[in-house]
Structure 1
Amino acid sequence: MTRRSTHRAPAARLLTVLALVAALLTGTAPWATAADPPTVTLSRSQAGAGGSITVKGAGWGSKALLMLLVCGQSSPARGVIGGTNSCANGAGRAVTTDPRGTFSRRLPVVEPPRPCPCVVHVATVQGGPKAQADAVLKVAGHPVRTLPAESGAGQLSMVTDTRLDGSSGLLTWFGAPPARNFVFTVGNVGPSPVRNPVFQVGTSHGVFAPQYEEQQWRGTIAPGRKARITLPVELTGGAHGDYLVSLKYGGKVLAEQPWGVGRPWGVTLFWILLCVVVPAAAFRIGMAVVDRLRPRDQRLSGRRRSARRLPVRTKRLPGTRPVPARRPDPEAPQDGVASTTTTLPWFAPDTGPGGPAAGQLSAPPDNSRTTKGNT
């Protein structure tokens, strides 16, 4: 037993060392700590409107697209209270992190639409994990007001089962605003009930920041209870592409849901038909006006000329042969009136009107000349 355990000890130690090395390489060691939250630092904590500062960050995702904004009525502890409506969106800047998750960007200092306390708000737009961080900034000359007091109400979190209900109709295919219902389940983890909570629902397209709108839900959520909430979401007319619906409460993003909107092909079809029908109608109207303004004699001559061009075809009954035209008799009276003799179908050849006399037994041959009466 001693010899066997002695021989197995080096192999066990080797396996243990290999396991520890693999754990270190994969970041799954038992003593490995979670990744540090992203940080934001400013070159100056105070600046006047019209100046600029340098914003640096670390701990962000690799090759992530970030948005930098100057926001009012905000603090690092409570976040941006009024959402992006409290930020100077027009002076915002975008930056892409390097492979190590760090960045450095110059940001112009402008006065936000809300009074200070102000912060530089950095949030992930695309790529990497969703994260956000704030750094305190004093904007010289901008008014300062105290932040609204926090209510002792409960805290809403634990949003689950998020989805967009609804479908696009025929009017949306022709450019009507697409609309959906944002459905989610939220729970109250605080000690007090939440009555008529006010949520912020925003939609974003591409790299643009979401535009939030406040929507109030009527109801009460008791402590430790959950509630199924439905909020309407609507885009502008003719919108199409990939959108992102965000839900915020208390300055924090609780949920996000992607939304793919199809192109309104009905509008394209309408313009194609308009480009075809309008020129055709204008051409018809122009031809009618030209024909109306032309003199009457020219119109009549044109109609007769078109009628003469039409080929005249004679229909022949089946089983009959065409009869050759007879030559005019030089001894026949030339009175200008052509007389033809026809045999009606219900008379015999010898008894028809204009045939031979009753005493004549047979009709003269076709090539004989007609004889005149007694002279």
Structure 2
Amino acid sequence: MKRRRRSASRLLTVLALLGALLAGTAPWAASASAADKPSVSLSKSQAGTGGSITVKGADWRPDTLLMMLICGQSSPSRGVIAGTNSCANSEGRAVTTDAEGAFSKSLPVAEPPNPCPCVVHVATVTGQKAQADAVFQVAGHPVKALPKASSSGQLTMVADTRLEGSSGLLTWFGAPPSRSFSFTVGNVGSTPVKNPVFQVGSSHGVFAPQWEDQQWRGTIKPGQKERIELPVELSAGAHGDYLVSLKYGGKVLAEQPWGVGRPWGVTLFWILLCVVVPAAVFRIGMAVVDRVRPRDRRSGFKGSKGPRGSKGSGGHTVRLPKVRLPQQKPKRPAPADAPTAPAGAGTTQTTTLPWFTPDTGPSGPERPAAGQLSAPSENSPTTKGNT
């Protein structure tokens, strides 16, 4: 009987451990997750302005860039309440973790803008977000109690963020690019959150984000999740790499990169403008010159007294008489049976007067026959009129 009870208790223990393992609440799982959480330690817990402390870290991601700051009105349990605006940003230092995720760096002590309690805040600059805080006291810096934690609803990021939408044709010509910043938040507080106000900001390069308040209409009950979409718009002609950030209650909830293409339509417009405008001005100028220049009424030429190349004395036109050459009869083709002149023989061309033909010309001193016309002879008497 006792053996059956022992076996049953062992079986229940094994089942409980398996259930805890599946639920992620096994003791060794909790210790492993705690060991993987990044940590920060300080060489001194208190120092004055002008001094320095050594900050050491462990369990960070390998080869990761970190930023170290001294912040006021903060605690390890509540973090940096007022954000990085309450930190001594000018005296911050950057450090890169080694292959094992550890680092050691000297940090100068400076007074933060807000009173203590203070912490040394270490956070990742790129990649997945991670942060850790260590309690530190700035000697001689004023101390003020932290504000009481509100028992109202608290929103936290549940799902990943997205920038939805696409650019249109007008964006290619310099119109402001716009997207829809969608994310899912959950209420981890004890009271509902009604009409929460978020801050959406966009930054370019090393410039700080420009925050804009946007209110979401609705109520998020405790333990409830809600998908929210907020519009994001950049300035006209914006291009390059931008970073869109979401903040609620002074804490950054999410960041999303945004690559904006160059508006090539603006470049094409300026190129066409530089080509079309000078051509139009030139044509207008030529038209004005054509209308202003005087015209000659007789010849129709502009700015001249007569036809080009025909100016005489006094500006008059000199016209030469036309010369007409006598028309020559076309040569008749020679018959096929006609004898051909030997090669090299000289050819003589006879010309006939217009009033003689070869058949009617006089052959000697004889008079021409009746009915034939000829020139009068030299011995013929001249006839006179009536005497």
TM-score, with length taken from structure 1:
0.59
1:117 is matched with which residue? 117
1:183 is matched with which residue? 182
| Aligned positions, number | 286
**Structure 1 residues 237 and 56, CA gap change in structure 2 (3 angstroms):** farther
Q: Secondary structure at the match of 1:33?
A: helix
- CA deviation map 1:346-373 (0-9, x unaligned): xxxxxxxxx9xxxxxxx8626978969x
1:228 is matched with which residue? 227
Displacement after TM superposition at 1:99 (Å):
0.4
CA contact (8 A) 2:151 2:191 kept: yes
Q: Write the distance in 2 (CA, Å) between the matches of 1:123 and 1:218.
A: 33
- Further displaced range: 194-203 or 149-158: 194-203
Displacement after TM superposition at 1:267 (Å):
4.9
1:323 is matched with which residue? none
Displacement after TM superposition at 1:40 (Å):
1.3
Q: Write the distance in 2 (CA, Å) between the matches of 1:145 and 1:233.
A: 38
1:147 is matched with which residue? 146
CA contact (8 A) 2:173 2:263 kept: yes
1:265 correspondence with 2:267: no
2:322 is matched with which residue? 338
CA contact (8 A) 1:75 1:136 kept: yes
Q: Write the distance in 1 (CA, Å) between the matches of 2:211 and 2:196.
A: 16
Q: Secondary structure at the match of 2:180?
A: strand
**Structure 1 residues 99 and 59, CA gap change in structure 2 (3 angstroms):** same
Q: Write the distance in 1 (CA, Å) between the matches of 2:80 and 2:117.
A: 10
Q: Write the distance in 2 (CA, Å) between the matches of 1:108 and 1:174.
A: 49
Q: Secondary structure at the match of 1:126?
A: coil
Displacement after TM superposition at 1:224 (Å):
2.8
- Structure 1's unaligned 5+ residue stretches are 1-29, 292-299, 309-334, 342-354, 356-362
Q: Secondary structure at the match of 2:99?
A: coil
Displacement after TM superposition at 1:279 (Å):
12
Q: Write the distance in 2 (CA, Å) between the matches of 1:138 and 1:63.
A: 30
Q: Secondary structure at the match of 2:138?
A: strand
- CA deviation map 1:269-304 (0-9, x unaligned): 466667x659978x979x99xx9xxxxxxxx9xx9x
**Percent of aligned pairs with the same amino acid:** 68
Q: Secondary structure at the match of 2:36?
A: coil
1:317 is matched with which residue? none
**Structure 1 residues 254 and 36, CA gap change in structure 2 (3 angstroms):** same
Q: Secondary structure at the match of 1:160?
A: coil
**Structure 1 residues 144 and 171, CA gap change in structure 2 (3 angstroms):** farther
Displacement after TM superposition at 1:63 (Å):
0.8
Q: What amino acid sits opposite 2:329 in the alignment?
A: P
Q: Please, what is the CA RMSD of the aligned residues? A: 4.6
1:165 is matched with which residue? 164
Displacement after TM superposition at 1:221 (Å):
1.5
Higher alpha-carbon Rg: 2
- Structure 2's unaligned 5+ residue stretches are 1-27, 290-300, 310-318, 332-350, 356-374, 377-387
Q: Write the distance in 2 (CA, Å) between the matches of 1:215 and 1:72.
A: 28
Q: Write the distance in 2 (CA, Å) between the matches of 1:211 and 1:63.
A: 30
- Further displaced range: 238-247 or 72-81: 238-247
**Structure 1 residues 339 and 205, CA gap change in structure 2 (3 angstroms):** closer
Q: Secondary structure at the match of 2:84?
A: helix
Q: Write the distance in 2 (CA, Å) between the matches of 1:209 and 1:239.
A: 16
Displacement after TM superposition at 1:59 (Å):
0.9
1:365 is matched with which residue? 329
Displacement after TM superposition at 1:184 (Å):
1.8
More relative contact order in 1 or in 2 (CA 8 Å, sep 6+)?
A: 1
Q: What amino acid sits opposite 1:46 in the alignment?
A: Q
Q: Write the distance in 1 (CA, Å) between the matches of 2:207 and 2:101.
A: 21
Displacement after TM superposition at 1:98 (Å):
0.1
**Structure 1 residues 208 and 68, CA gap change in structure 2 (3 angstroms):** farther
Displacement after TM superposition at 1:61 (Å):
0.5
Q: Secondary structure at the match of 2:259?
A: strand
Q: Write the distance in 2 (CA, Å) between the matches of 1:190 and 1:83.
A: 21
Q: Write the distance in 2 (CA, Å) between the matches of 1:219 and 1:72.
A: 34
Displacement after TM superposition at 1:131 (Å):
0.9
Matches within 5 A, 1:9-28: none
**Structure 1 residues 336 and 85, CA gap change in structure 2 (3 angstroms):** same
**Structure 1 residues 170 and 149, CA gap change in structure 2 (3 angstroms):** farther
TM-score, with length taken from structure 2:
0.57
